[in-house]
Chains A and B, each alone.
Chain A
Amino acid sequence: MALDSADDRGAAGVVVTAAPRDLSPEGRQPSAIGPWRLAGRRLRRNKVALFFLALFVVIVAMCLLAPVYSAHIAGIGPNTNNITGTVSVAGKQQDVVSLDGVPIGPTWGAHYLLGADTNGRDLAVRLLYGGRTSLLIGAIATVIIIVLGTLAGLLSGYFRGAADFILRPLMELIWSFPVVILGVALGTALAIGGIGPVKGNSVYIPAFIIGVVYIPYLGKPIRGEVMRVRNQDYIDAARVQGMGHWRIMFSEIMPNVSSTIIVFVPLILASSILLESYLSFLGAGVQAPNASWGTLISDGLDYLQTTPTFSLIPGAMLVLTVLSINVVGDGIRDALDPRAQVRVRT
């Protein structure tokens, strides 16, 4: 706690590491500080990362509040067609979609704030719902990658032998395909028949696809890390003490590779959201009539010259989201880096 308060004052000082305990020059015994708390402190000092973390939280909150905006402000659902409807703009009633099919641009009012698409759907509502879809897919894909990638890396690196013989080439095989091409191929195929009870137009399909194509991107580094850790003396000691393989993996090895996984989480989340957008932009991700930022960018392309906001605003949302996750991810990586230094006043 003393170090916390010293750190908060932010003056130059000595380098503090978590262990072993040491005496200060004055003979006071500083309290011990764990690596996680130290990482948290480093992160709190990274103002840029904190700013983008706040931005990410705001974007997530906006997207989560999409139903509220849809029901109480815009008054229209994300997939509700309103082709022959009208909207009041500056006191005048205007067609949401003109007789020759041109949708209305941004009204900057409650209704059709960002304009309509060709089917007369409110783009602001679809932007928020699209954000929910993109974030949901990114989150589900990230969980799939973390669980399966970690498991594959653990099994392959710990057992080696037959497990490594099967899992490593499998990961190499997936790794060898460019992710977008593999994603489009799987997305196109699975959009037709779905997977088992999951229909082809479900948002779980692109989440599953992204999860699968990115598994090696976590599995391979984890495998390398596990292979390094399993040769440590304390693992041998655990084995000599009679601990089983699974217990060694999850109680001895996992804690030592967890920082690697944590560093990967934001990177994977950002990559998953981006890949979802690529796939949806190309028609192999989120299926109509559901929206995602990728489909909105694609839908707006026809109007790039006349109403560029149709594409630019979902594009900007995507950029800000991915940027914020990446910057926060960099901050986490720096914070967890054992070679990073925290200066505290002595």
Chain B
Amino acid sequence: MKRYLRPLGASLLCGTVAVVAACSSSATSTGSPGSTASSAAKNGGTITIDAGTAPLSADQGLDFTTQGTELYSVVNTPLLTFQRGVSGVGGAKIIPGLAQALPTVTNGGKTYTFMLRPGLVYSNGQAIKASDETYALERDIKIPWQAASFVSAYIAGGTAYADGKAKTISGITTDDATGKIVVNLVAPFAPIEDIFALAGTAPVPPSTPMKNLANTGTIGDGPYMWGPITPNQSYTLVKNPKFDVPGIPKGHANTIIFQVNTNVLANAEAVLNNQADVFDAGDTLPASIISQVQSQASDRYQEVPTNSSYYWFMAVNQKPFNNLYAREAVLAAMDDRALSRLDSGLLSPDCHLIPPGIVGGGSSPASCPFHPADGPPNMTEAKSLMQKSGMIGQPVTVYGEERAPRRQWLDYITGVLNSLGFKATEKVVNSSVYFTTIGAPTLKPQFGFGDWVQDFPNPWDFMQLFAGNAGSSLNYGYVNDPHYNSQINTLPASTPESVASQWTALDNYAVGKAYYAVYGHQEFPKFYSDQMNFQAGVLSVEYQTDLTSLELK
């Protein structure tokens, strides 16, 4: 936190009048940040973002990665949206997107009614109809969207549609004439508003094929539209001249090019030397260049806290991690401080899944079992637990990503498992296909890397990862605990604030059962070239780099 506040405070003091205006707009969550920034902003030009990892797809109906969200969230505007142009928690505030206002909630929290704004059009000029929303959600289920369970499990008729037992999602009714969209839920579920603010739920024209459009993306309704795409290499966004939704900024640059180069160090050097404009916030700035960046570019580099959790999942349905002692031994032996150093020091050690910035989070790292998360591991206890487990000598395949520092994390944890007496071997998977690989139903990995970056400010967003009854394909540990499932089903009916202590208790319960081995929450790098207006750029908790905030000097 201190590292975040210092440069921000300095920047507020030393800016010009125009920059101060931009600063104030990015430091507050009130007013209309988009319009404030644009009054002093320079519009036009081309901005290049260098990224180490490509999105899984340009199609928001399939992809659910941080890299993808950055891009298609400016192409596909959903019914609701998260406020743009605001750093920090203010950037998680939900405002109307294509809907005229926030939904009306009736029927004891089971019915949400939206009204589309009149006169909305897609980037190709086609009118947006209320029924397009139904089609988009059906498309999410069919393709399927990586977070398809968000839709299928909670909207009435979603499961039947997913199973092929219904031709449409019966829980959604629309009226194209009035723009009315009524969504009926299976049970009261507060996060549904957040889900309708995700780009994956944005309407698409009914002519959009029901398949992954990785090479083109979909026709959208946001401030930008897709230009040329070369999957895994470059993704171009160009301004959508037809976009005009009040409260949502139109963006400054005419063209934004997101180019992928797996050599993250080369990307950082390119930004440092002004050969590229933005270092993608989803990547970790390599330790080898951080001191150089801090000395040569301190006025255009900042470490920004985000709501994210990094963890190891352990498959509780198979040997050796179906044994509680074996799982606890991992928690006791893991040194979160070491994992933080591998992450260039940008990771705050913690064992809890809910990050401190989310309601229910903020439990002290000192309360972690076996040893404080920010303290040395307890190898004596770990080895004792291993003896009790009877799992010494069991083979374990450890899955991890190729890109730094995730491969280094993999090397580290494999060493820890071997030191505990497992026969651990590594399996390194290309970053762009890692989660689809480990999520394949046939693979059933025993142990592996996982991370989650906030989709919306609700503890359910994190805790649902280990729910066994939500049909989630994200529960890589195959956790299926009746108490956990029950809480995941009941707590979302209430606002997070009203049940904050219960969310905290659920997180502690899961830590006590060693269902996951969380090791920290990460700060993301905000690093721009000299050509960029650094103060105007926003690193959002929702969108990471908020592309509508990027502007050239």
Contact = CB atoms under 8 A, between A and B. Distances in A.
A296 to B, nearest CB: 13
B342 A289 contact: no
A102 interface: yes
A249 to B, nearest CB: 42
A109 interface: no
Contact of A83 (B341, B344, B402, B425): B341
Most chain A CB within a 10 A radius of its CB, from B291, B404, B418, B428: B428
A202 B341 CA distance: 29
B342 A302 contact: no
B288 A306 contact: yes
Interface in A67-109: 79-81, 83-84, 97-102
Interface string B407-419: 1101110111010
Contacts of A101: 287, 290, 341-345, 405
Interface in B251-293: 265, 286-291
B335 interface: yes
Contacts of B513: none
B101 interface: no
Most chain A CB within a 10 A radius of its CB, from B343, B402, B426: B426
B379 to A, nearest CB: 12
Contact of B411 (A81, A283, A301, A302): A81
B337 interface: yes
Nearest to A101: B287
B376 interface: yes
A17 interface: no
Given A102-B287, A303-B288, A81 B344 contact: no
Given A80-B415, A287-B426, A289-B426, A302 B286 contact: yes
Nearest to A99: B345
A105 to B, nearest CB: 12
A83 B414 CA distance: 14
Contacts of B414: 289
Interface string B356-377: 0000000000000000000010
A260 interface: no
Interface string B389-421: 000000000000010110110111011101000
Interface residues of A, number: 28
Contacts of B426: 201, 287-289
A83 B428 contact: no
B329 to A, nearest CB: 17
A119 interface: yes
A288 B289 CA distance: 23
Nearest to B344: A101
B95 interface: no
Interface range, B side:
20 to 34
Interface in B299-357: 335, 337-338, 341-345
Contacts of B335: 83-84
Given A83-B341, A84-B376, A283-B402, A102 B288 contact: yes
Interface of A, secondary structure class, is loop
A311 B345 CA distance: 24
Nearest to B400: A288
A302 B290 CA distance: 11
Contact of A287 (B286, B287, B428): B428
Nearest to A191: B428
A329 interface: no
Given A83-B338, A119-B411, A201 B425 contact: yes
Nearest to B410: A288
A84 B336 CA distance: 10
Most chain B CB within a 10 A radius of its CB, from A81, A283, A305: A81
Contacts of B343: 101
Contacts of B288: 102, 302-303, 305-306
B427 interface: yes
Given A288-B407, A289-B415, A302-B265, A100 B402 contact: no
Nearest to A302: B288
A196 to B, nearest CB: 16
Given A283-B402, A287-B428, A288-B426, A100 B341 contact: yes
B390 to A, nearest CB: 24
Contacts of B405: 101, 118
B412 A119 contact: yes
A110 B412 CA distance: 23
A233 to B, nearest CB: 58
A99 B288 CA distance: 12
Nearest to B269: A305
B287 A288 contact: no
Interface string A293-318: 00000000111011000000000000
A289 B415 CA distance: 9
Contacts of A79: 411, 415, 418
Most chain B CB within a 10 A radius of its CB, from A80, A199, A289: A289
B408 A84 contact: no
Nearest to A82: B338
A322 B341 CA distance: 36
5 contacts: A79-B418, A81-B411, A83-B341, A97-B338, A100-B344
- 3 closest cross-chain pairs (CB), A and B: A101-B287, A83-B338, A100-B345
Given A81-B411, A283-B402, A288-B410, 7 more contacts: A83-B335, A99-B345, A100-B291, A101-B343, A118-B408, A119-B342, A289-B426
Interface of A: 79-81, 83-84, 97-102, 118-120, 191-192, 199-201, 283, 287-289, 301-303, 305-306
